[in-house]
Amino acid sequence: MRAVGLSPVVDKHHVTATSRQLYEYVKLLGKSHDKYIPQDIKKLSRNHLGILLKSLLDGDGNQQSKNSWRYTTVSRRLADDVQEIALKCGMASSVSLDRQGFYRVNLCTTRTAQCNLGADRSEWIDYDGMTYCVEVPNSVVMVRQDGYAYFSGNSKGTGDQYVRDYFRIYGLPTVVFRQSCIYGPRQFGIEDQGWVAWMTIAAVTGRPITIYGDGKQVRDVLYIDDLLDAYDAAIARIDTAQGQVYNVGGGPENIMSIWAEFGPLLEKLLGEHIPMARGDWRPGDQKVFVADIRKAERELGWKPRIGVEEGVGRLFEWVRKNKNSFLEML
């Protein structure tokens, strides 16, 4: 407060300051149940968000263990905002609602199940992540992240079966989409997820790129607008689509190798050579995956419209126009 010209009075339990301008700003945040963090604040750099998160935890939070904390509020919107900030700061986070009506934001610096300790209530959500992009003999899929092994795809496969059973048993008009590599503007890709966006962001901002394996792994890619068209098509033909499972991806007409072909395309858009490092093959990494989308074409009347070069070009332009924002976040 002193830094912005205010003269606060501080005692053991309160900080008091007289400022009409500050009052009008804080009033917009509402009372306890209406509290939230303004969008412009959530766009601050990672360092500034870390400072804000620490102050929030010092006020209405408590440390659960060496690597975990809990923030408590009666505002669902504020709980979501705190979770968003935690994720932007690189922490794992989950939100639960206790029986007294308090939202608990569980945060931890390690990506383990401990972040979910204390969750008193669970809820169903629509999940459309990857399902079976890897085939292994024992049906257990693992990927590497920060040098550690992580299971991948099991939750999506389980979710698929639950969703189908809700149609079969209760008649709920559910549809399962098994999606391949989705990309497009406003995808904040990271190395472990959203590889098309991640490599584009890294190329534009000068971040290091590591290619695991020989870079010739083939994937089919689907532009976000085409995915939304598939959602609309399933809703429009729900009498046909309910209870069904569809592969939704770019299909054979929209394939490329993750670096042998994608790298030159990025360099053409960037106008310069893109350096990259090599890494060992990741366990379970498929050399070729292309979604068979013929069922969706046949029953939903849907097929991709945006080709690889056009879609990647749109993504590249979005990243280029927002380069400074990415530099602040990285």
Q: Domains in the chain, please, with CATH?
A: 31-116 (3.10.28.10), 142-329 (3.40.50.720)
Using 50, 70 and 90 to split pLDDT, how confident is the model at 118?
Answer: very low
Q: What does the block give as tokens for 182?
A: 């989705």
pLDDT for residue 47 is more than 80: yes
Of 185 and 190, the structure prediction assigns the larger pLDDT to 185
140-146: long-range pairs with CB below 8 Å, 24+: 141/284, 142/283, 142/284, 143/192, 143/282, 143/283, 143/284, 144/282, 144/283, 145/111, 145/192
pLDDT at res. 330: 62
pLDDT tens-digit readout, 73-105: 999 999 999 999 998 888 888 888 888 889 999
Percent of the chain whose predicted confidence (pLDDT) is above 70 = 86
Using 50, 70 and 90 to split pLDDT, how confident is the model at 117?
Answer: very low
pLDDT for residue 233 is more than 80: yes
Using 50, 70 and 90 to split pLDDT, how confident is the model at 114?
Answer: very low
Using 50, 70 and 90 to split pLDDT, how confident is the model at 149?
Answer: low
pLDDT at res. 284: 72
- Residues in contact with 208: Cβ distance below 8 Å, sequence separation at least 6, in sequence order: 202, 275, 276, 277
pLDDT at res. 12: 78
Distance CA 314, CA 269 (A): 11
Least confident of 140-149, 220-229, 237-246: 140-149
Angle in degrees, CA 257, 131, 296, rounded to 5: 80
Enclosing H/E stretch for 23: helix 20-27
pLDDT at res. 299: 97
- Residues in contact with 310: Cβ distance below 8 Å, sequence separation at least 6, in sequence order: 223
pLDDT at res. 13: 75
